[in-house]
Structure 1
Amino acid sequence: MSDARDRIAQASRLVVKIGSSSLTNAEGGLHSEHLDQLVQALVRNVRAGVQLVLVSSGSIAAGTPALGLRKPPRDLATQQAAASVGQGILLAHYAAQFAQHDIRVGQVLLTAEDLIRRTHYRNAQRTLGRLLDLGVLPIVNENDTVATDEIRFGDNDRLAALVAQVVQADGLVLLTDIDGLYDRPPAQDHARHIQTVRSAADLAEVGLGGRGSGIGRGGMVTKVQAALMASEAGIPVVLTRADQVSKALLGEVTGTVFEPSGRRRSPRQMWLAHATTARGSVRIDEGAVRALRQRQASLLAAGVVGASGTFLAGEPVDIVGPDGAVVARGLVAYDAAEFEQLVGRTTADLMAEFGPDYEREIVHRDDLVLL
């Protein structure tokens, strides 16, 4: 047993994510047997004292036949209508199955945008934590009825990785209809199963497919991105087929394991790194890169060579080195329009010309995370 699998087997708090393709039948409706099998596997862990969060896709798939549609809709408005109807069907089925084992469930609908805003992020963290403390199993889904860009490609994989970080989970299990990661699409000849991923470098020669089935909205690309997001934050991940969930939760060899390759970050650092979208970028010189990486210093105007975007003070920006690589992300203290007069100048210089308001850093180290 690998260290990552062992940690998942011994975890006290886990996030499990299941995709639409693993929950639906050939007609596009809910596959009751598959859903019931998942519940049975999760019940065993709950009874063993494990706190579980379930991130479940399937609302659009569940709502499609309920609306009399013969196939999953492609236009945004009908997708949102199907999600609105289907979410109730999905949750009702989960609630009924878990109730047979005296387990209460609670619905939590989120979008990635909810986790971008600091107050929303903290509210989600408090709500999920309290539900777990009360012995409730939270069932999380993307809020498809209001999502825009996310609804077109499916972001529940990334959402699951973010939720794992929000609740400070000990492990993440991503369930799909393929038994892990291959070095090329598994239908191709000589496709090789990858049992362990230790870092993103291990995937340099891996050819990933794009979208998944017509029922689900993600693909292996989004699952690998989510697995790396979590593992690079110190959370072990298993990616495997849905019918192998019991083995995954027991730490047995199944699917692909992503070994944690990074240090645990504080919730604020995780929020900055993974739940924010940069509104622009600030370009810095090599000296500033060294100051950020080696001394964990704040970013000062003297090390800035330029900026792009239309961001406002307090919004997230990418901090980019001379080679064009993103060094860090942080909450900037100035509007983009102010940068022309800031670039390359010392703090003393700025204070002398503009007053004490310009004593503040471009990005304070408490509002910055290295990437």
Structure 2
Amino acid sequence: MDRTEHLRNVQTVVIKVGTSSITGGTTQVSAEFMDSVARQVKALKDSGKKVLIVSSGAIGVGLGAMKAKPKPKEVPIRQAAASVGQSILMQKWSDSFQKQGILISQILLTLDFYSDREKYLNLRNAIETLISYDVVPIINENDVICVKEIDAMFGDNDTLSAYVSSKMDADLLIILSDVDGLYDKN
């Protein structure tokens, strides 16, 4: 099967949006970028695709809003920034998707959803219900309480997006980032 045929058969798409894509390398959200993503998601939905978004950016945007130093090492500052930034991100995502007539939801995860069957089933049921109501779930790690992941810089949601794709039986995972080509080093 060639790529075009494969893409035509895709039913569920997970789009991971990196911090640098959302902010253009600043600490501010790029409304233009988010509007573009919303338009493209609408096109996917109009063609019958189910779409989920894994959005990074909460810590970076929160640090900017708090006027904190960039990339602090102190976990409480990063947690506070995640809390501030997450609400800003969701407002901006909501603004962009409203222009397309699309309702969004927020899902904040901890990685135990991947290994705890009951949590996984609850998550899957919630996401499937949201999609059945034509809602686009926007997923992020709950950085306010996931100290281990924050401290280790948990792949900036790349791994989370792979887990979500796997658990939701997604046909396609798209990662939007500023990394040129394939990332092959840790």
Same fold (TM over 0.5): yes
The amino acid that maps onto 1:85 is V
Q: More relative contact order in 1 or in 2 (CA 8 Å, sep 6+)?
A: 2
Q: Is the contact made by 2:94 and 2:103 (CA closer than 8 Å) also made in structure 1?
A: yes
Q: Is the contact made by 1:7 and 1:171 (CA closer than 8 Å) also made in structure 2?
A: no
Unaligned runs of 5+ in 2: none
CA 1:154 to 1:4, structure 2 compared with 1: closer, same or farther past 3 Å? Answer: farther
Q: Is the contact made by 2:29 and 2:92 (CA closer than 8 Å) also made in structure 1?
A: no
1:157 aligns with 2:158: yes
- Cα offset, 1:150, TM superposition: 1.3
Partner residue, 1:87: 86
CA 1:5 to 1:54, structure 2 compared with 1: closer, same or farther past 3 Å? Answer: farther
Partner residue, 1:10: 9
- Cα offset, 1:12, TM superposition: 1.8
- Cα offset, 1:4, TM superposition: 5.0
- Cα offset, 1:180, TM superposition: 2.5
SS at 1:153's partner residue? coil
Q: Map Cα deviations across residues 301-353 of structure 1 (whole Å, 9 max, x no partner).
A: xxxxxxxxxxxxxxxxxxxxxxxxxxxxxxxxxxxxxxxxxxxxxxxxxxxxx
Q: What is the rounded CA distance, in whole Å, between the counterparts of 1:123 and 1:14 in structure 2?
A: 20
Q: What is the rounded CA distance, in whole Å, between the counterparts of 1:166 and 1:140 in structure 2?
A: 13
- Cα offset, 1:132, TM superposition: 0.8
Q: What is the rounded CA distance, in whole Å, between the counterparts of 2:81 and 2:178 in structure 1?
A: 23
Q: Is the contact made by 2:38 and 2:100 (CA closer than 8 Å) also made in structure 1?
A: no
Q: Is the contact made by 1:61 and 1:82 (CA closer than 8 Å) also made in structure 2?
A: yes
CA 1:130 to 1:179, structure 2 compared with 1: closer, same or farther past 3 Å? Answer: same
- Cα offset, 1:27, TM superposition: 3.5
Larger radius of gyration: 1
1:173 aligns with 2:178: no
CA 1:154 to 1:25, structure 2 compared with 1: closer, same or farther past 3 Å? Answer: same
- Cα offset, 1:162, TM superposition: 1.2
CA 1:25 to 1:175, structure 2 compared with 1: closer, same or farther past 3 Å? Answer: closer
- Cα offset, 1:74, TM superposition: 2.2
- Cα offset, 1:75, TM superposition: 1.5
- Cα offset, 1:59, TM superposition: 0.6
* Regions of 4+ moved over 4 Å: none
Q: What is the rounded CA distance, in whole Å, between the counterparts of 1:164 and 1:174 in structure 2?
A: 11
- Cα offset, 1:145, TM superposition: 0.6
Q: Map Cα deviations across residues 235-281 of structure 1 (whole Å, 9 max, x no partner).
A: xxxxxxxxxxxxxxxxxxxxxxxxxxxxxxxxxxxxxxxxxxxxxxx
Q: What is the rounded CA distance, in whole Å, between the counterparts of 1:121 and 1:5 in structure 2?
A: 32
TM-score by length of 2: 0.90
Unaligned runs of 5+ in 1: 183-207, 211-371
Count of residues paired in the alignment? 184
Q: What is the rounded CA distance, in whole Å, between the counterparts of 1:29 and 1:174 in structure 2?
A: 20
1:117 aligns with 2:116: yes
Partner residue, 1:281: none
Q: What is the rounded CA distance, in whole Å, between the counterparts of 1:26 and 1:14 in structure 2?
A: 25
Q: Of Structure 1 and Structure 2, which has the larger fraction of its residues in helix?
A: 2
CA 1:26 to 1:162, structure 2 compared with 1: closer, same or farther past 3 Å? Answer: closer
Partner residue, 1:128: 127
Q: How does 1:47-58 map to 2 (within 5 A)?
A: 47-58=46-57
- Cα offset, 1:66, TM superposition: 1.1
Q: Map Cα deviations across residues 93-116 of structure 1 (whole Å, 9 max, x no partner).
A: 111111111100010111212322
Q: How does 1:92-107 map to 2 (within 5 A)?
A: 92-107=91-106
Q: Is the contact made by 1:28 and 1:72 (CA closer than 8 Å) also made in structure 2?
A: no
- CA RMSD across the alignment: 1.8
The amino acid that maps onto 2:185 is G
SS at 1:17's partner residue? strand
Q: Is the contact made by 1:111 and 1:159 (CA closer than 8 Å) also made in structure 2?
A: no
SS at 2:144's partner residue? coil
Partner residue, 1:46: 45
CA 1:9 to 1:75, structure 2 compared with 1: closer, same or farther past 3 Å? Answer: farther
Counting aligned pairs with the same residue, the percent is: 33
CA 1:121 to 1:103, structure 2 compared with 1: closer, same or farther past 3 Å? Answer: same
SS at 1:71's partner residue? coil
Of residues 141-150 and 170-179 in structure 1, the stretch that sits farther from structure 2 once superposed is 170-179
- Cα offset, 1:24, TM superposition: 1.4
Q: Is the contact made by 1:15 and 1:55 (CA closer than 8 Å) also made in structure 2?
A: yes
